[in-house]
A and B are shown apart, each in its own frame.
Chain A
Amino acid sequence: MPRIIKQRVEFEGRVEERNVVIEGDDLPVWPAGERFQVIGTPVTRVDGAQRAGGTARYTADLYPAGVLHGAILRSPHPHARIRALRTSRAEQAPGVRLVLSHRNTDAIPWYNGMSRIFDTELRYVGDEVALVVADDAAAARDALDLIEVEYEPLPHVIDPLEAIRPGAPQVHPQGNVLGGAPERYARGDVEQGFLAADAIVELDVTTPDVLHHSMETHGSVAWWEGDTLVIWDSTQHIFGVRRQVAAALRIPLDRVRVLSPFMGGGFGGKNNAGKHTVLAALASRRLGRPVRIVFTRAEESQAAGKRPRSVQRIRVGARSDGTLVAIDYWGVSSIGAYRAIGTPLAGPATELYACPNVRAETLNVFTHTGPAAAFRAPGYVEGTCALECAIEALADQLEIDPLELRLRNYAEADQVLGRPYSSKFLREAYAMGARAIGWERRALTPRSPVRDGPPRRGLGMATQLWGGSGSAPAYAEVRLNPDGTAEVRIGTQDIGTGTKTALTQIAAEVLTLPVGKVTLSLGDTDFPYSPLSAGSQTLASCGPAVRMAADEARRHLIDAAASLLEVAPEDVRLEGGRLFVAGVPERGLAIAELTGQIGNFTIAGRGFRGPNPDGVTIRTWGAQFAEVEVDPETGEVSVLRIVACHDVGRVINPLQYQSQIHGGVIQGLGMALREEHVTDPETGAVLDLGFDAYAVPRITGIPEIVALAVDKPDPIANNLGVKGVGEPPIIPTPAAIANAVANALGVRVTSFPITPAKVRAELGRRA
């Protein structure tokens, strides 16, 4: 009998209460040392042939018969009111079928009621003004110029520190600070703590606006089949898109189907429906034809979300033996014009190290710039830059090895929520990583700045702390065909991480079938519910449900075989796709021989994700080590090697694990050294409108990356013992690189990205 319990669930650095439906008992966790056939092996992508062959259909590849193309007119002003808007010239342009604006569209609330689908007050350069739908994309784009808009420019504010000054232009009537006040946290007495400190380090750290730049831009293709709306969306959450679009159009949920079978990357930027999704649906309803709206790369740069820039100040104090006595943290996250939730910048500072006295204050500040979005470990990448640079500066000041200092302050339990961790194998990650990089080679950081001479090497490290537990609800179905092949259906999405492959492995393992005999379908709201693919939660949420569904099918197989073989079910074994009587392998039959006798889908299973264990905090852990070479003359930083070792529970697929590590590290490296999304402080215009002006890392400049895994199952987190690996690898990379640069030169650049100019300036200032 299903019952509902309340659970505290962590998601993207925030803890929330949630009602969780419990349908029955979960399966026991597969213990450490469990022997597997498929799990833990480097299975290649089950859909690799489609992706590499060019036959995979992404949303951007969808051109249904009769499709029309939409283009969006965006605000040229950071803050303005629309005084008048005339669309008649655009409507008469060749090929144009429809122009939508606030004048002919319902005032649908958007951004949690902070705005509308077409607002008359525009709050950033890129805010949506109108939509043109035409026979082809070029005609739609050309007609944008024919829409006449009279704007009344209003005062604007771009810099978050200016935005919190009294009298600053207001982005929203409620004020420029999200929630009206800073988020605060405290334990112990920080002032007393600093009095007991023998060494104190204070750092000002800034991180830039960073763009996701998924290779597939945001896009939606919508059409109506009778009164049912079908949407293909490049999204990380098909069920979320369904809910948002149904609410916006005020239609029942059972009249909306959302699909995303192939998705070209998200990194947090596609967690929600976009305005374009709703606009495609609205336009399609009016025109009775499919409508396709796919962002250009310039729109992706302007209006598709960003990791918001941060301004942080951190102070840490320790006794001479390295014991931390106080951490004082202050951070500002510049969340742009619209954002419903704050950035958890203070997460690392408050939880990573054992410290009795901690105080943190975070302000999430609205500005007249593009809306912030979650981006791969939101807040924690930025917050780790501050904390882990301060920790290494402290170690240098105390002349204690930075790894040793970290070990001396190892947190055995969660001090924020006051409860134990489900598991923590961070010591193992430190040890494996240190060995692989050769940490003992690290020279003492020079006492005075190295201003000239040949390029110098340095070693640095940083620690990763993040969630990734996953949680209920998530569901899956497994069913068997007469020929013994299996089908799995689950309404999750594979945003590029390899979800489809990992889940297929789990079903194949339980059914003892080769991976090639299991077909897993996802990316369709007709399938069982699954959560948002974010917060490193997909595998740990969906995987246990798939295991349970396959396990139910397996039990049905065994029961059916028992009656055929005329033995008790306890005496039937299933191995290698064969059901047989225990101890008498020749008395048995293949799965296909059984299912062949009983028909289509007569053997099936349904599985759910059980609740997370009570009273514990579930975390992923990791350590990264960077070796760099810095030229003191030019300030150029070359990263030679990164070693990454993470504890994310049991590894289902080591090949995909490595891929996630590599990709995360390189995104972290981009943020450390090059990537910066620039908004003109005067005009609010975005200065990087594509890859020409925004430095996504290229293959030419990438170092060697050694991806290691602790690979120990979490004993209680879920029935697989897994956690997520999507976000962990990006978290410590920028700090590890910054620390290596400091170790090389004896000066510390704490303004990211660490450009040659900043390195030279830092060396010069100390001259």
Chain B
Amino acid sequence: MRVRVRVNGAWRTAEVWPGASLLALLRDALGLCGSKNACEQGECGSCSVWLDGELVCACLVLAAQADGREVRTVEGLTTGEDLHPVQRAFVEAGAVQCGFCTPGFVVAVVDLLSRDPDPDEPRIREALSGNLCRCTGYQKILDAVRLAASKLGGSSP
């Protein structure tokens, strides 16, 4: 089947099989591999994207459900060569090891800070409880969120 989605501001069309997920559409068909496939079970957050502004696990959404809608991915956060402040904070805080989980975390953190520019630690933990990282032990990820919040100075990203 044919689906048409607006990805990071540009309309894209692709042919997918009826059961394909939004994640398969982005990765296999559109070549946007920043969103990772680490479980396809909705359990790890590596595939986090926005669908009409709402944070979703792209592996749990059918491509067909996204037809005619607006999708924003981790690739959409970077302007040219410039990383988003949250992405920069992850690098600066040392929150990136293998980095396979990082795009998913970055999207979740951007989403959190857009709703709560100055989250306290329990709130950060709660917001990131759906994201798994096997490398970092999460300490530096917490540092990255605090660093990003202070960089953004409470202003909505």
Contacts and interface: CB of A to CB of B under 8 A. Distances in A.
B103 interface: yes
B129 A297 contact: no
Given A138-B20, A139-B17, A53 B78 contact: yes
B33 A54 contact: yes
A73 to B, nearest CB: 19
Given A52-B106, A705-B139, A699 B125 contact: yes
B7 interface: no
A4 B136 CA distance: 40
Given A52-B83, A655-B94, A700-B126, A61 B140 contact: no
Contacts of A702: 137-139
A696 B99 CA distance: 17
Interface in B118-154: 124-126, 128-129, 131-142
A36 interface: no
Contact of B38 (A136, A297, A496, A497): A297
Interface string B81-109: 00100011011101011111111001000
A296 interface: yes
B87 A658 contact: no
Given A42-B94, A666-B138, A215 B132 contact: yes
Contact of B135 (A265, A690, A705): A265
A659 B39 contact: no
Interface string A657-697: 01101111111000000000000000000000011100011
Interface residues of B, number: 57
B132 A698 contact: yes
- Residue among B34, B96, B128, B140 with max Cβ neighbours from chain A (10 Å): B96
A534 to B, nearest CB: 15
A49 interface: yes
A88 interface: no
A297 B39 contact: yes
B138 A53 contact: no
B34 A54 contact: yes
Contact of A265 (B96, B131, B134): B134
A662 B43 contact: no
B31 interface: yes
Given A44-B92, A136-B28, A297-B38, A216 B100 contact: yes
Given A663-B135, A691-B132, A51 B96 contact: yes
A57 B33 contact: yes
Nearest to A657: B94
A498 interface: yes
B97 A53 contact: no
Contact of B129 (A44, A56, A658, A699): A699
B100 A264 contact: yes
A698 B43 CA distance: 11
B27 interface: yes
A45 interface: yes
Nearest to B38: A215
Interface in B15-47: 17, 19-20, 24, 27-28, 31, 33-41, 43-44, 46
A60 B37 contact: yes
- Residue among B75, B90, B131 with max Cβ neighbours from chain A (10 Å): B90
Interface string A634-674: 00000000000000000000011011011111110000000
Contacts of A666: 136-138
Contacts of B73: 54
A174 interface: no
A691 B39 CA distance: 8
Contacts of A217: 38
A630 interface: no
Given A60-B37, A690-B43, A691-B39, A54 B94 contact: no
Contacts of A263: 98
- Residue among B98, B131, B139, B142 with max Cβ neighbours from chain A (10 Å): B98
A496 B99 contact: yes
A53 B94 contact: no
Given A61-B27, A139-B17, A262-B99, A215 B94 contact: no
Contacts of B131: 699
Contact of B83 (A49, A297, A691): A49
Nearest to B91: A48
Contacts of B91: 44-45, 48-49, 51-52
Contacts of B92: 44
Interface residues of A, number: 62
A465 B78 CA distance: 44
B74 interface: yes
Given A55-B34, A262-B99, A138 B129 contact: no
Nearest to B20: A138
Contact of A699 (B27, B39, B142): B142
Contacts of B137: 659, 661-667, 697, 702, 705
A714 to B, nearest CB: 25
A63 B37 CA distance: 14
Contacts of B101: 215
B105 to A, nearest CB: 9
Interface in A615-646: none
A238 to B, nearest CB: 16
Interface in A442-498: 495-498
A615 B132 CA distance: 44
Nearest to B33: A61
Nearest to B94: A655
Nearest to B103: A54
Contacts of B35: 54
A421 interface: no
A214 interface: yes
A267 B133 CA distance: 13
A230 interface: no
Given A61-B27, A61-B33, A45 B135 contact: no
A618 to B, nearest CB: 25
B10 to A, nearest CB: 16
A139 B20 CA distance: 11
Given A215-B46, A263-B98, A658-B94, A53 B34 contact: yes
A661 B137 CA distance: 8
Interface in A229-288: 262-265, 267
Contact of A692 (B41, B83, B87): B41
Given A137-B24, A659-B140, A690-B43, A216 B129 contact: no
B28 A656 contact: no
A58 B125 CA distance: 28
27 contacts: A42-B94, A44-B92, A45-B91, A51-B102, A52-B96, A63-B27, A63-B33, A138-B19, A214-B98, A214-B100, A215-B44, A215-B133, A215-B134, A216-B100, A262-B99, A264-B36, A264-B100, A496-B100, A498-B97, A662-B139, A662-B140, A663-B135, A667-B134, A691-B39, A696-B134, A699-B138, A702-B139
Given A44-B91, A656-B94, A662-B137, 7 more contacts: A53-B75, A56-B99, A57-B33, A61-B27, A137-B24, A215-B100, A215-B101
Give the top 4 A-B pairs by smallest Cβ distance, nearest first.
Answer: A54-B34, A496-B98, A51-B99, A264-B100
Interface of B: 17, 19-20, 24, 27-28, 31, 33-41, 43-44, 46, 73-75, 77-78, 83, 87-88, 90-92, 94, 96-103, 106, 124-126, 128-129, 131-142
Interface of A: 42, 44-45, 47-58, 60-61, 63, 136-139, 212-217, 262-265, 267, 294, 296-297, 495-498, 655-656, 658-659, 661-667, 690-692, 696-700, 702, 704-705
